[in-house]
Copies of this chain bind each other. A is one copy, B any other.
């Protein structure tokens, strides 16, 4: 992977803010001809720097009434248990994100559910009953924000 220059950084920043910008618009913003801009973006994709783009949707519109963070402690920390739990939890439709962490808990799982009833069922059926799970602690999410884009420590 070649190192990124200022223009690459600017392109990535723009696309992280709005992935639907046209190539022409992008080119104008960074001061490049559309053809050159396109070449850059194709290179970034080929190198794996640009991994894709995802639309952001209003959770309420999809019937999601509440979200929670579930901190999970496993009984053992064997590779097999970690892998099994990881795979299981990723397959659940309610799960938005999974973090495997070092700390008080082993996993932090972000889930989106219809309502409190749904959350209880999920916690009981998909977490507590799992053999590798020792203990869980559920935290209701009042509000959350994800900043679009990563910080750039190169440019």
Contact = CB atoms under 8 A, between A and B. Distances in A.
Interface of A: 1, 4, 9, 12, 15-20, 47-59, 61-64, 69, 90, 93-105, 108, 110, 112, 114, 137-154
A57 B62 contact: no
B101 A69 contact: yes
B98 A145 contact: yes
Contacts of A53: 18-20, 53-56
Nearest to A41: B55
Nearest to A4: B61
A26 to B, nearest CB: 11
A70 to B, nearest CB: 10
